[in-house]
């Protein structure tokens, strides 16, 4: 190491600058690949951008160029494993739509229901009773698309009246369950349009799932921090999709704990969220069922054009975690991008906040 640069900061700064230029070139290449429509090439570019982003962030930190997050969450723990008495809130996560760039499905949703241990156990008890009432095995998992269409275990021999009664019972199950809703709606069509127009989101991971997870995790930390009495820590439970997908999601979560995001520092993520995460396949009564229903409801509402009159408002809106100031991560559902619908989004946030106060 040169004596003039004993800590390697100059070299790190040069590497960070080169990586930033390469990221810009890769963004241009990704825009061109949209026209080709080759999903494998798009995936390869996405993986390369993700790895290069890590290099850029690491060298930026070494060079003294690390940007402090815009929001600080005080009261975090230095070592969660040694904490006692804080309580644990588990966020059960499920997705709806496809996290691929293809615009055949223009929306991707990641939703989570946050529950403590008692609320989770109570949900399982209620779900078992509901299934027993309708002659459904407790080993069957509630799955929103099949319930909507009356398919598979929810066909009821073509008895439409029984299906309607069952759907009403599901609504009651949601109403009677204690949870808070967090989520992210990625508007893939709007995102593609802004990228084609030259916008690049260097502060966000390139993958849609990783992007959505970042938004949800930021809002989870805000929700946990808002309880200054108990100061609970959070843990994440994902629906298991497959070995590779689970590993990718685990890596995305680990990146948040190690690198942080634009708004929440790595230290704050580590101080509020347990480092381990769990993957569980759907089967039987479990809060992941509730996350499935939430993700589907959020996707349906967004797909229908975010109308004011919708079942989403009756069942879910007042469960969205929010604080009086609905800006800067203090509202539990992130719609992205939203520059073209910003006024509508603010109105929706304020309405959800007010509806929560009425509930």
Indicate the helix (H) or strand (E) that contains 239.
strand 233-239
Q: Is the dihedral of CA 271, 54, 280, 312 positive or negative?
A: positive
Mean pLDDT, rounded, for 324-350: 88
Return all residues near 172 (Cβ < 8 A) that are at least 6 apart: none
Bridge partners (DSSP) of residue 114 are: 91, 180
pLDDT band at 285 (very low <50, low <70, confident <90, very high): very high
Indicate the helix (H) or strand (E) that contains 236.
strand 233-239
Strands 107-115 and 273-280, how do they pair?
Answer: unpaired
- Asked if residues 344 and 306 have their Cβ atoms less than 8 Å apart, the reply is yes
pLDDT band at 220 (very low <50, low <70, confident <90, very high): very high
What are the pLDDT digits (tens) for 310-325? 989 989 999 999 887 7
Q: What's residue 306's pLDDT?
A: 94
Crossing angle between the packed helical segments 160-176 and 287-303, to the nearest 10 degrees = 110
Strands 233-239 and 180-187, how do they pair?
Answer: unpaired
* Three-class DSSP category at 76: coil
pLDDT band at 246 (very low <50, low <70, confident <90, very high): very high
What are the pLDDT digits (tens) for 74-108? 767 777 766 777 789 999 999 999 998 888 899 99
Q: DSSP secondary-structure letter at 317?
A: G
Question: Cα separation of 286 and 123, whole Å?
Answer: 8
Q: Report the length, in residues, of the chain.
A: 359
User: Angle at CA 286, nearest 5°, toward 116 and 167?
Assistant: 110
Q: If you average pLDDT over every residue of the chain, what do you get?
A: 86
Q: What's residue 49's pLDDT?
A: 82
Mean pLDDT, rounded, for 244-263: 92
What are the pLDDT digits (tens) for 9-65? 556 766 777 877 788 778 777 777 766 777 778 778 878 888 888 887 777 766 654
Strands 107-115 and 180-187, how do they pair?
Answer: antiparallel
Question: Cα separation of 117 and 342, whole Å?
Answer: 37
> Order of strands across the sheet with 180-187?
273-280, 233-239, 88-97, 107-115, 180-187, 333-336
Crossing angle between the packed helical segments 39-62 and 9-36, to the nearest 10 degrees = 160
H/E/C letters for each residue in 112-171? EEEECHHHHHHHHHHHHHHHHHCCCCCCCCCCHHHHHHCCHHHCHHHCHHHHHHHHHHHH
pLDDT band at 5 (very low <50, low <70, confident <90, very high): very low
- Asked if residue 302 has pLDDT above 90, the reply is yes
Indicate the helix (H) or strand (E) that contains 293.
helix 287-303
CA-based end-to-end distance of the chain: 63
Q: What's residue 7's pLDDT?
A: 52
Return all residues near 227 (Cβ < 8 A) that are at least 6 apart: none
Question: Cα separation of 231 and 115, whole Å?
Answer: 14
Q: What's residue 1's pLDDT?
A: 36
Q: What's residue 2's pLDDT?
A: 40
Question: Cα separation of 231 and 229, whole Å?
Answer: 6
Question: Cα separation of 173 and 340, whole Å?
Answer: 36
What are the pLDDT digits (tens) for 114-147? 999 999 999 999 999 999 999 999 999 999 999 9
Long-range contacts from 115-122, C-beta under 8 angstroms, 24+ separation: 115/89, 115/90, 115/178, 115/179, 115/180, 115/287, 116/87, 116/88, 116/89, 116/90, 116/232, 117/88, 117/90, 119/177, 119/178, 119/179, 120/90, 120/287, 122/177, 122/178
Q: Tell me the percentage of the chain whose pLDDT exceeds 70.
A: 89
């Amino acid at each position: 190491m040169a004596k003039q640069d004993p800590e390697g900061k100059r070299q790190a700064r040069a590497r960070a600058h080169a990586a930033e230029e390469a990221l810009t070139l890769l963004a241009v290449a990704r825009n061109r690949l949209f026209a080709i429509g080759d999903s494998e090439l798009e995936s390869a570019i996405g993986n390369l951008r993700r790895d290069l982003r890590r290099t850029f962030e690491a060298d930026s930190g070494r060079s003294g160029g690390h940007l402090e997050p815009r929001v600080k969450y005080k009261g975090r723990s230095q070592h969660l494993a040694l904490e006692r008495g804080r309580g644990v809130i588990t966020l059960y996560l499920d997705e709806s739509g496809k996290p691929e760039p293809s615009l055949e499905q223009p929306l991707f949703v990641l939703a989570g229901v946050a529950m403590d241990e008692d609320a989770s156990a109570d949900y399982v008890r209620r779900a078992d009773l509901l299934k027993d009432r309708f002659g459904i095995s407790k080993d069957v998992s509630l799955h929103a698309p099949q319930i909507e269409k009356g398919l598979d275990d929810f066909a009821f021999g073509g008895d439409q009246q029984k299906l309607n009664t069952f759907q009403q019972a599901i609504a009651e199950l949601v109403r009677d369950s204690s949870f808070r809703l967090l989520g992210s709606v990625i508007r893939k069509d709007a995102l593609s349009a802004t990228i084609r127009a030259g916008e690049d989101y260097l502060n966000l991971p390139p993958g849609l799932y990783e992007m959505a997870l970042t938004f949800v995790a930021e809002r989870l930390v805000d929700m946990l921090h808002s309880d200054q009495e108990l100061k609970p820590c959070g843990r994440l439970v994902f629906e298991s999709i497959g070995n590779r997908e689970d590993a990718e999601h685990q890596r995305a979560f680990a990146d948040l704990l190690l690198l942080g995001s634009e708004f929440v520092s790595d230290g704050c993520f580590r101080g509020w969220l347990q480092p381990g995460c769990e993957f569980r396949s759907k089967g039987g009564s479990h809060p992941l069922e509730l996350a499935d229903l939430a993700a589907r409801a959020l996707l349906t509402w967004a797909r229908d054009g975010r109308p004011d009159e919708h079942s989403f408002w009756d069942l879910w809106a007042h469960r969205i975690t929010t604080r009086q100031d609905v800006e800067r991560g203090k509202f539990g559902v992130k719609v992205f991008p939203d520059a073209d619908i910003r006024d509508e989004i603010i109105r929706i946030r304020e309405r959800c906040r007010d509806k929560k106060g009425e509930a």
